[in-house]
Structure 1
Amino acid sequence: MPQMPVEPTSPPVQFQLREPVSVSSVAATCDENMVHVQVKKDLFGSGELIQASDISLGGCGVTGEDSVAQLLYFQSYLQACGSQVVMTNDSLVYSFSLTYLPRAISDTSAPIVRTSGAVIRIECHYLRLHNVSSNALQPAWVPYAATKTAEELLVFTLKLMTDDWKFERPSNIYYMGDLIHFEASVKQYNHVPLRVFVDTCVVTAVPDAAAAPSYLFIQNHGCLVDSKLTGSSSRFLPRTQDFKLQFQLEAFRFQQGDTGSLFITCLLKATAAASPTDAEHKACSFVGHKWAGAGGEDQLCSCCDGSCGSRKARDLTSVSGMWTWRPFFSFCLC
């Protein structure tokens, strides 16, 4: 039988697979409220020019084109074109997806593409700066945004609660001997989880927090001293949620003065829930002849009998807001 001819051995071929080279074909700039993106039409550096209709920024089309320089342009507000915002401890990050989906050259005769699809992530980073107001608000039955920088929004509230703590109390009239239930909270919009604190609370007979007579019943960065000074049942309740803090105060009036209305000014603070509590961020009550923390931080409360210190420099890990209610609560002495 005839044998198959033997093919001569080919000499070794010098071959090296050429891998794609990274190209810088996308550039982005971020300003106060917009992002600007520039894309080379030779997106992959292969010589194949993409079509403007095949690329979008979060679903938004091309806003400009330079046919000479072979460039495509996009422009968008930070909150538009499918952007996503993420809050970190120190930054506000807006992210966009630049998506290239090549269409077939022809739906019928040539259902092919010459380039691959791609998704390119574009991010705008903004440092968070806190602009904290220390001005009292009058009246204050309206939530106050304590700080708003870029898209950061924190809303602190301090509400009167019913005896079972389930609802906001519809009346601010109390009788001597009543327990006044307060709930402080912070709402965290686009923010890392927060923990709220009541730093100070002072009661006065007029809307001026510096007026006399006055009673500073929460002081020293979260020490509720009323129960120690008067033997009352005033205290912080055990904390069950980081963004809420409940406390109760026995109703009273000033020895001198018969206005029937009292005014309260409180400083509320919030820190990242992941941050550890310290001597300047705590909630302490004097219960059973000793200091106890609402979140179990008893050891931090030992300074309540002395001085818990003060920051020498501004602490950018916390934010605060101050309010005055007018009137905050009234007494019917019948």
Structure 2
Amino acid sequence: MGSLACPSAILVLFVVALQTEANRLPWHSPLKKEYKSYLDRSPYSLLDDDTKESLNGSLPQDPQSANEEPDRKASPTPAPKPVPLQSQEKQDPVKPLKWKFPSRPVPPTEPEVPVVPKMPVPANSVAAKCGATDVQVEVHRDFFGTGRLIQPADMLLGDCTFTREDLSAQVLLFESELHGCGSSLQVTEDELVYTFTLTYVPKVYLGTSIMRMNSATVDINCHYQRVHNVSSDVITPTWIPFTATEVAEEVLVFSLRLMTDDWKFEQASNAFYLGDLLHMEASVIQYNHVPLRVFVHSCVATPVRDLNTSPRYSFIENHGCFVDAKLTGSRSRFLPRAQDNQLRFELEAFKFAPGYGDDIYITCELVATAASTVSKACSFANDRWTSSGGMDEMCACCDSTCGTGQPEAGEWNSEASLGPIKVKKQN
């Protein structure tokens, strides 16, 4: 038995090779039968039945034999599945990746420090000396304390330029009488206060359209205690914004003020619209004097401060006749008198013709008489003249000529001004 082991193994391998080759042939090939008959004549016949049975099971069956199954339709050969070039299974890397995309650099954060604006320090560049009849003002050319010198022509005291300049000290000197340079006078029970306005208006640099300084104003007040009577000449009429006041002989103080609608306070604003009513109050304050009554003999409006300019509009004339309502059909009128030393009237706001701006200046002639003296304040309404005091017959002369035009005995006259009053169109 031991001597046949090796040939049997070789035989089996040979038969298996033949059988494998036979399996590669189509089942209907005639070579199938040739291989089968060859196997019957080959050493295959020497194999035992069990080995043959195992080999016969691997041979393809011949459908033409009597024991074969009936014909079957050949099923189409399925298309071979494509072999993936790469395994679809997700595989873990051999080593974990340590490389990363570089991150964007983060700028360093600055600490939050509260910003406190630097407050400007007022420059001590203006000095004033109030005398008995005049005022002297010194202005350093380093007006803002920044080291930059101002141009002397850009600095005004009211409407006056500097009197002289100290080149070594870089100081501008202004001198004015108390009632000069557009000063204003405020009278209280205890004192007189003269106010001057120092104005700096810079101009653009020559050859450019820029400037490096701001405009500025400084008010200078001179206070004088009222502890004695004033017995000097009549003070020249002055222009005062919104209020005009003048001290006359025998210590009489005339004023013309723009009042609020309820007549309780002086108007703080000078801006109005066309059609608004300007509430104006004329008054006189007397010291050591008999009771007086004030009247408005005339009022003229101009687009500038000059009373003699053109155009000019006279809305009260002829010794107290309010002609504005008759000329334009306005609501302008005198109000009934509440006190002898006060006279209130309303003027409907107007503008001058185009080309003269929005400003109007009003100058009125005020007259004070003894309270027992009869004078007139006439308004025009419903096609007739009426008096604020109820004596309408005194207004009959308003359509002709009233009075002689000369001051009468026992009268004190003064002029008072208001302005500028800005009148705009309604939107």
TM class by smaller structure: 0.5 to 0.7
Q: CA deviation at 1:166?
A: 1.8
Determine the structure 2 residue equivalent to 1:230: 328
Q: Following the alignment from structure 1 to structure 2, what is the Cα–Cα distance between the partners of residues 205 and 155? A: 27
**Aligned letter for 2:315?**
F
For structure 1, the residue ranges without an aligned partner over 5 or more in a row are 1-128
Aligned to 2:276: 178
CA contact (8 A) 1:182 1:248 kept: yes
Q: 1:301 to 1:146 in 2, by over 3 A?
A: farther
Normalized per residue, the structure richer in strand is 1
Distance (whole Å) between structure 1 residues aligned to residue 244 and residue 275 of structure 2:
29
TM superposition shift of 1:243: 0.6
**Are 1:316 and 2:409 an aligned pair?**
yes
Write out per-residue CA displacement over residues 169-209 of structure 1, whole angstroms, 9 at most, x where no aligned residue.
11111001101110111112111111000111000011111
| Uncovered stretches (5+) of structure 2, i.e. residues with no partner | 1-230
Deviation sequence 1:303-334 (CA, Å, 0-9, x none): 0001113245x42301011123331x111334
- Looking at structure 2, the residues matched to 238 and 139 of structure 1 have their Cα atoms a distance apart, in angstroms, of 27
Cα separation, partners in 2 of 1:137 and 1:306, compared to 1, 3 Å: same
Contact 2:243 2:417 in 1 (8 A): no
TM-score w.r.t. the length of structure 2 is 0.44
Count of equivalent residues: 197
1:325 equivalenced with 2:426 (yes/no):
no
TM-score (norm 1): 0.55
2:23 corresponding residue in structure 1: none
The CA deviation at 1:229 is: 0.8
2:251 aligned residue (128, 134, 153): 153
Question: SS in structure 1 opposite 2:414?
Answer: strand
1:243 maps to 2:344: no
Q: How does 1:183-202 map to 2 (within 5 A)?
A: 183-202=281-300
SS of alignment partner, residue 285 of structure 1:
strand
- What are the superposed Cα offsets for residues 238-276 of structure 1, whole Å, 9 maximum, x if unpaired? 11211110000111001232421111111111001022x
Say if 1:230 and 1:141 are closer, same or farther in 2 by CA, change over 3 A.
closer
Partner of 2:379: 285
Amino acid at match of 2:408: D
Contact 1:239–1:246 at 8 Å: present in 2 too?
A: yes
Equivalent residue number for residue 187 of structure 2: none
C-alpha distance after superposition, 1:95-120 (max 9, x if no partner)? xxxxxxxxxxxxxxxxxxxxxxxxxx
The 1:324–1:183 alpha-carbon spacing in structure 2 relative to 1, beyond 3 Å, is closer
Note closer, same or farther for the CA distance 1:190–1:274 as it changes in structure 2 (3 Å cut): same
Structure 1 or 2, whichever has the larger Rg, is 2
> Which amino acid is the alignment partner of residue 297 of structure 1?
M
> Residues 315 and 325 (structure 1 numbering): CA distance in 2 closer, same or farther, change over 3 Å?
same
Identity among equivalent pairs (%): 49
3-state SS of 1:241 partner: coil
- Letter aligned with residue 225 of structure 1: V
**CA distance in structure 2 between the partners assigned to 1:227 and 1:202 by the alignment:** 15
**2:245 maps to which residue?**
144
Alignment check: 8 A CA contact 1:140 1:323 kept: no
Match for residue 312 of structure 2?
Answer: 214
Confirm or deny: 8 A CA contact 1:130 1:316 kept in the other structure: no
Which secondary structure state, in structure 2, belongs to the residue aligned with residue 196 of structure 1?
A: strand
2:398 to 290, 294, 304: 304
State the structure with bigger RCO (CA 8 A, min sep 6), 1 or 2: 1
